[in-house]
Chain A
Amino acid sequence: MSAQTPRLPLEELTPGIALDGALERAIADFAASVVRAKTVDPLTTELVRLRCAQIHDCRLCGSLRTREALDEGFDESMQRKIAHYENSDFGPEIIAALRLCDAMILSPSFADEELKAELERHYTATQIAEICLDVVKWSQQKALVALRTEAPPWDTTNVLSFDEVGNPEFGGPAYAS
């Protein structure tokens, strides 16, 4: 994790113009709609989210664990395996989802007939599309990281949950100390 500070002076950003402006609100509405899709299981979604955080070096996303994944048994040993998922003991359906994530964020050239066949063994077209849309949603981190506005206001691993609309809520430490 890097120790970067914001690259634009916050006092020069006008609320309602760019910061919390029409585009940023539309991106948030898009993100909430993806959260509501829910055709993919929460553990897979969480591993894909954390893969995005790892590649983009998003400190905020890396500091969060979704409530739904924790409830499904997510633990930190899974988080540690993500960087080396190709050689991990993750199931083939999770490895396929992470390969799709890498095709989206590292190089679309990774998306080939072999990956398509692998995905189709484990997921419906609706689920494959949701994983792709999840990666688009989570990769909003790219804008935050580019401007280094993604430092979390806490120094522990915290819970990420979503309200009924799909908007994010931050809910205190993910694990008892």
Chain B
Amino acid sequence: MNFELSDEQTLLAETIKRFVATHYNFDTRAKIMASPGGFSTDVWAAIAEMGLLGLPFAEVHGGFGGSTVDVMLVMEAIGEGLLVEPYLATVGLGGRFIARAGSKAQQERILPALIEGKHTLAFAHTEPGARYDLRQVGLKARRQGEGWVLDGDKAMVLHGGSADTLVVSARTAGGDTDAAGITLFLVSRTAPSVTVKESRTIDNLRTADIRFSGVRVGPDALLGREGEGYPLIEEVVDYATALVCAEAVGAIRYANEATLEYLKTRRQFGVPIGSFQALQHRMVEMMISYEQARSMAYLACVKIDSAEAAERRHVISAAKIKIADACRHVSQESVQLHGGMGMTEELKVSHTFRRLTMLAQTFGDAEHHLERFAATDTVSHG
């Protein structure tokens, strides 16, 4: 048992933190959010330059073969700085799919380019009405000749409007909510008959509703094995959920630091408002939420690399329950303790509030994971 970061990890964490501090201040971020693409290609290039895109991928593709704890450090910094770049979509979802299930040719085509910052990905999976049920896939793929034809709709695809390649889940057998019969495909976003309608999320990320109207793909588009996509989807989403937990921890840390600073500097009745016990105890509860959330994010990221599937599901859901509760608690309290200022567009706290609100839901809210946590319980003592 050991919580120490290695020298390399400490250096990594410091490097990202410094980058975010110097190149991603509030005004820079506002400009980036307002830009047509919704994220900065310069920042993306810098992230690639720092080696962050290659962190979890094999050295043979130009990566570093790092652990999930390495990526966790990046995600914490992304959360703290509220970065809007598609790191989760590209590294945490798309890249993970390809690293786990891609053919040699697929890996060689995409991973080196991804790592260099020249290829982004998105996971086109959620469909209208599916909520957080990963099995619900109605988009149809039918064989045609050597390849396939895809028909159907995907909704709320994170960074789907800018991704070079979409990882698309499709139904090749069974009913719309069966675990069996789901197949994954790699589809170019600019392929004919792919229609993308981009929108902005409340926390200033970009999502897309994507329509596939008779989209033809070749046999080389198949990712993994036909009809066996579900376990892979569950595994990759669990991985991405662990990363989201880490991102939330970073954002919570910022919200707490900003709120604490505000309590010490904002004066009313002739004294700093932090001298009032009513506020002190609320701040303490926010700090406790942070420490507990951080512990669960650590557990999630460590277990992703070491646990069997059954334990992984249970631990990831446990982590997401705690993170979702902490996101809601800290975001709401940080706004309340900032008073009217916490409501304003011009304060980062209101942006952190929105990101935390979304992170609480991403890949399932607390209620979704409470259900899964109970379903995956095996009463045992370590």
> Is the A/B pair a real complex?
no
Binding site for A on B (CB under 8 A): none
Measured CB to CB, the residues of A under 8 A from B are none
